[in-house]
Amino acid sequence: MLPVRNRLRTGADFSHTVRSGVRQGRRNVVLYAVLSEDAVPSRFGFIVSKAVGNAVTRNLVKRRLREASAEALRDRPAGIDVVVRALPAAASADWASLRSDYASALRGAMRRLTPEPGGGTTHDGGAQPSGGIREDGDGSGE
RNA sequence: UGGGACAACCAGACGGCCGCGCGCCACGCAAGUGGCUCGAGGAACGUCCGGGCUCCGCAGAGCAGGGUGGUGGGUAACGCCCACUCGGGGCAACCCGCAGGACAGUGCCACAGAAAGCAGACCGCCGCCGUGACCGCGCCGUGAGGCAGGGCGCGGCGGUAAGGGUGAAACGGUGGUGUAAGAGACCACCAGCUCCCCGGGUGACCGGGGAGGCUCGGUAAACCCCACUCGGAGCAAGGCCAGACAGGGCGCGAUCGAGGGCUGCUCGCCCGAGCGCCCGGGUAGGCCGCUGGAGGGCGUCGGCAACGGCGUCCCGAGAUGGAUGGCCGUCGCUCCCGCGCCGGCAACGGCGGGGGAGAACAGAACCCGGCGUAUCGGUUGUCCCAUCCC
RNA sequence: GCCCCAGUAGCCCAAUCGGCAGAGGCAGCGGACUUAAAAUCCGCAAAGUCAGGGUUCGAGUCCCUGCUGGGGCA
């Protein structure tokens, strides 16, 4: 359901995606995504900690996330790296809600990675951390 | 019919769409594409034991240390399993037991109690002596009184352990003889110990008979003693390939030997020119080991059994951010709530059909054999007890 | 994979060689002092020792099994 070439394999790939990627949180999952080369196949990785449950439920959660990633792979066969962290609520979630959480988190991440569909401004380095908040911390006088 | 005991087995079935991993085949220069086979468990779990395998120079002796603990067998081995013995529980089927030694030694037994372990004696009981007051039915005396006697109190000496609130446990139990009072001092029965003989059993032990002294506390999951047994580390073992980097300081050393191999100590044997600490720097890849084995099914023979021999058939996982799945449909199982029909006075039972809910514990990571623990339920077999009918 | 340690009041922690079943501190409650509070002083309550089983007359302590948490090495 997810071939080996579409999986994140090394710790370096994981830490790069989690640290420099955009983040989208939902009830069941937290999704990190980063743009990669257009020619390289898209890759997915999962983080399911012991807080989710025992080995059986962790495996079930990982399989469902892989299935959802396989659906996402049809839309984007190349160009992104995604890491999905499962939250403890994912252990008791059913398949429909887990899939909708995954899909909406991925849509939100893709909106932030591709700035304007018609804008045409192609500044590189997607996923700049949002520096705008730091700007206006100075004016509050009162 | 109801209740119970034990053993073995299963862990929903079938189908559809889309997928994943190892291997094989075909095509392709290659990336890859297509097809086929196989693809989690009874506990895969916990890691409480035992082995295989690999390395440490195949590992020696003593001490220390650890483990086991009825007997016999099974096994590669075990702390596991089977059978038997003993003890305990149950009417029974059956179940439970870390089941050697307390005359090898040491320690402990709080509180209570006279006394907690080897015998002794606080109270008590009994005898004798002394003494104090009292009684005075005997004798002497006219009488006062004296003598003998009696019980009581006190003191001393001695006998005894039958009785004594206690306590988990009190120096055999019951009855009798006996005695100044008592006591296995003696007698009968019973419980228990040691020794001997006979019979059965490989053995633990069992059955029968006799003798002795008359009785000896518990605790070894307290130290300990006895018997048997144990080298260390673990697939991140171990090996190969590729790749990266940058050294410096201090200390001890080179047959006067640092440091190692053997968990600890001593001896012994061996390797031996580097080793230890600190600061700084680099790596986190691939391949082998890696799945065919104390393997499983069936049959037969030996054995009470665990198990073993032989024959025949079969191949049933090998991931590495970690495959073995996601979704749907039908049928079956369990429970609950209505409906209809039949039997019955009724409780209720049977059949048909509808709706809803549930389906556990849990995921291989070098591989096996056990143990322990978790688990919604279901199937089959054997046996025991009670009741009813023939 | 291998090994070790711990679990006692709400919290932190004592308890000799097994012996009346459990000390202390912080926090809590009540009282005193104060106009009131803080500090101080006095008093009270709060546990049955992680769970189950065993040895023993008797277990927080000894033994076995399990649970939870923490740590170390490769």
Query: Per DSSP, what are the bridge partners of residue A82?
Result: A33, A44
Is A73 within the bounds of a domain?
Answer: yes
Per-residue pLDDT tens for A106-121? 989 988 887 655 443 3
Six-digit token string for A129: 């951390």
Is A96 within the bounds of a domain?
Answer: yes
- Phi, psi for A82 (deg, rounded to 5): -130, 135
Calculate the angstrom distance between C1' of C15 and CA of A79: 68
- Tell if A95 CB is < 7 Å from nucleic strand B: yes
Tokens 């399911």 belong to residue: A48
Is A49 within the bounds of a domain?
Answer: yes
- Tell if A50 CB is < 7 Å from nucleic strand B: no
- Tell if A30 CB is < 7 Å from nucleic strand B: no
Is A100 within the bounds of a domain?
Answer: yes
What pTM value is reported for the model? Answer: 0.74
Q: What is the CATH number for A22?
A: 3.30.230.10
Residue A43 belongs to domain spanning:
4-111
Count of CB atoms within 10 A of residue A120's CB? 7
Tokens 């899939």 belong to residue: A99
Is A122 within the bounds of a domain?
Answer: no
Per-residue pLDDT tens for A19-58? 888 989 898 889 999 888 777 788 888 888 877 878 888 8
- Tell if A55 CB is < 7 Å from nucleic strand B: yes
**What is the interface pTM, i.e. ipTM, of the complex?**
0.72
- Tell if A18 CB is < 7 Å from nucleic strand B: no
Count of CB atoms within 10 A of residue A93's CB? 19
H/E element, A24: strand A22-25
Domains in chain A: how many in total? 1
Q: What is the DSSP letter of A57?
A: H
Is A92 within the bounds of a domain?
Answer: yes
Calculate the angstrom distance between C1' of B88 and CA of A8: 65
Is A134 within the bounds of a domain?
Answer: no
Which residues in window 97-136 of A are less than 7 A from strand B by Cβ? none
Q: What is the DSSP letter of A89?
A: G
